[in-house]
Chains A and B, each alone.
Chain A
Amino acid sequence: MTFNVLVQAIISGILVGGVYALIGIGLTIIFGVMRVINFAHGELMMVGMYMTYFLFTLAGIDPFVSIVITIPLMFIFGGILQKVFINRIIGTLPQNQILLTIGLGLIMSNSIMLAFTSDYKILTTSYSSASVSIAGISVSEPLTISFLITAVITAVLYWFLMKTDMGQAMRATSQDREAAQLMGINVQRMSILAFGLGASLAGTAGALISPTYYIFPQVGSAFTLKAFVIVVLGGMGSVIGATLGGIIIGVVESVGAVTISSDWKDVLVFTIFLLVLLVKPSGLMGKSRM
């Protein structure tokens, strides 16, 4: 294995890791604000993928442009899910929350399967397999664009959480729900906002990878697991942790695929996950929340 191959693996790992980070940030915000572990997170991403697919095939909207439509739609969808279902189980046993979101995920993936069959759909754009070559290292074009979009979205999100009143209210809720409530923060609204935000981030991630990934109803569960690995690695509830975790997992997968084999890369990821749970369950950024 040459040095170039390794560098290329690291770069494409970072690019994919950006999208992983987006999925992880959504999950971590939901956990931070509501203490609910969302097992339907990958399914939300899958819904985003289907939205992007149909916007592209029916209306001819480019997947990277369509996020302008996907983000608000997924926000509303997430808000409704929170209001109708998740809100009823906040503060109950974690097991019940897990099972409820597993149930919602099953409903989402199977409804999509019922409506559009389980056939693999492929979204082929003019640039799907295009790549640019810089100093002998070829970089996938759609992955690069999606990484740039991810970076912009993450930056906007940081600004929102750190600088705006609403963002501060959200951070306060995630630090201490009851104290935040005493301070006059509408925690109900924060929960809807958090789930809406989480859903739209997952949907965006779905939109961003749809030019380079197969689209099928069961695609979600693999990403749900990946999202957990990322969030636990970074520290539950930490946005910076999820960003770091996403990129680390992206690089581990991609380097693992070239150094060991692509069949075993997921085993590697899960082993790291177990090690983190055993050695440092609070994750890399466990102390600081958001």
Chain B
Amino acid sequence: MKSFSLTASDTRGFSAPALVIGVAILAALFLFPSFVQSPYVLHMMILLFLSTIMGESWNIIGGYTGQYSVGHAAYFGAGAYGTLILLQKWEIAPWFGMWVGIAVALVLALVIGSICFRLRGPYFVLASIAVAEIVRLTVLNTPTVTNGAEGILLTDIPPFKIGATVITDFVSKVPFYYISLVLALLTIAVTWLVQHSKLGYCIQAIREDQDAAHSLGISLSFYKNVALAISATLTSLAGSFYAIYIKFIDPTTVLALDLSVQIVLIAIIGGIGTIYGPVVGSLVLVPLSEALRSNVIAQGLINSGIVREDSGIGIFLKEHLAHAHVLIYGILVVIVILFMPDGVLGFVKKMTKKSGTGD
């Protein structure tokens, strides 16, 4: 657990070069859409930000508090369904609907917290899965409200207006780019604030040793529930954004166990309990799974002459590799757990430190 304290001291004061690089990256991100108009590239960036939001929000409860929730799809689904049901059935704009999503997610978090936080370790993990599954099955089986297995298809988004001026009509990907960028920065800022607040110290104490923390007068259930509430709120926001951006949700895409697992993996692969871990995890996972999904890897193997296109393997890879992008999640998590216990970020830090002292 040494690396946690290391990263905490790293970020307490900003050195001048770090500040310059940070501002430069921020400026580049904000100016990005004025230079790159390709919808595909923008789509990739949006997926990257979305993944960062999900990873960072999970990180608050999983990474900092040490409560491995494998049921975060419930909050994501609450945001997605809350927003789309209100928009599609009652024509309530998403920037109001998302608050309903957050409210639902908070109620869920309170229920889940009061049931699950009494349990520890593996029991907590199992209980979080069970609650998320109950939510998914309930949504699936109440088609009058949620459309059941068919899901909800968003037909059109009302333009965003302040007074009479139309700010954006959501036709291009640019508004989505900025919304997701701001949300991602917001979650990173919240994580930073949490880490450097009393709350942060308390939840990290709970992670390291619940009983010791309790004996020091830290209220376990209070701090765990606050951390979960923050995490659920941010995850619900990610869900609302996803629903409006993708324009289609069903229980399989926004409420399934697979999604909960993927949310956990973003943080685990990057490095849990660190501010930039989920960012690194997203930078690793999003391009990789997208490369598999869009068949870049199969095509690359064929183009580079390793596999012949008309051979059996070539045809097989072209047809099937795209469907197996989750395979990469599995392989990565096994590698990370066995060889990089602090995630990719921790691994890179250790490597650079080693080579640094070697010089």
Contacts and interface: CB of A to CB of B under 8 A. Distances in A.
Interface string A195-235: 00000000000000000000000000100010011001000
Contacts of B257: 221, 225
Interface string A222-265: 00010011001000000000000000000000000000000110
A103 B323 contact: no
B334 A100 contact: yes
Given A98-B125, A221-B257, A264-B137, A114 B323 contact: yes
Interface in B298-335: 320-321, 323-324, 326-327, 329-334
A98 B330 contact: no
A103 B134 contact: no
A37 interface: yes
Contacts of B258: 221
Interface in A262-290: 263-264, 266-267, 270-271, 273-274, 277-278, 281
A110 B338 contact: no
Interface string B202-229: 0000000000000000000000000000
A96 interface: yes
Contacts of B140: 263
Interface stretch (B37-45, B116-124, B161-169, B276-284): B116-124
Q: Is the interface of B mostly helix, strand, loop or mixed?
A: helix
A98 B69 CA distance: 12
Contacts, number: 115
A106 B325 CA distance: 10
A163 interface: no
Interface in B108-132: 115, 118-119, 121-123, 125-127, 129-131
A106 B330 contact: yes
Interface string B320-354: 11011011011111100110010000000000000
Contacts of A96: 337, 341
Given A37-B122, A95-B68, A274-B115, A106 B338 contact: no
Contacts of A105: 330
Nearest to B121: A94
A99 B133 contact: no
A102 interface: yes
A267 B137 contact: yes
B294 to A, nearest CB: 16
Interface size class of B (residues with CB under 8 A): 35 or more
Nearest to A221: B257
B268 interface: yes
Contact of B122 (A94, A102, A104, A278): A94
B126 A228 contact: yes
B68 A98 contact: yes
Given A100-B334, A103-B337, A277-B119, A267 B138 contact: yes
A90 B61 CA distance: 24
A10 B124 CA distance: 31
Contact of B264 (A88, A99, A278): A99
A188 interface: no
A277 B137 contact: no
A89 B338 contact: yes
B126 A232 contact: yes
Contacts of A98: 68, 70, 122, 125
Contact of B324 (A85, A89, A110, A232): A110
B172 interface: no
Nearest to B131: A274
Given A95-B68, A274-B115, A277-B123, A100 B337 contact: yes
Nearest to B341: A96
A103 B122 contact: no
Given A110-B330, A263-B137, 6 more contacts: A106-B326, A110-B324, A114-B327, A232-B123, A267-B141, A271-B134
27 contacts: A85-B338, A89-B338, A94-B122, A94-B125, A95-B68, A100-B333, A100-B338, A102-B261, A102-B333, A103-B329, A104-B334, A107-B334, A110-B326, A114-B323, A114-B327, A228-B129, A264-B137, A266-B133, A267-B134, A267-B138, A270-B130, A273-B126, A273-B130, A274-B130, A277-B115, A277-B119, A277-B126
5 nearest interchain CB pairs? Answer: A106-B330, A103-B333, A110-B327, A107-B330, A103-B334
Interface of A: 37, 85, 88-89, 94-96, 98-100, 102-107, 110-111, 113-114, 117-118, 221, 225, 228-229, 232, 263-264, 266-267, 270-271, 273-274, 277-278, 281
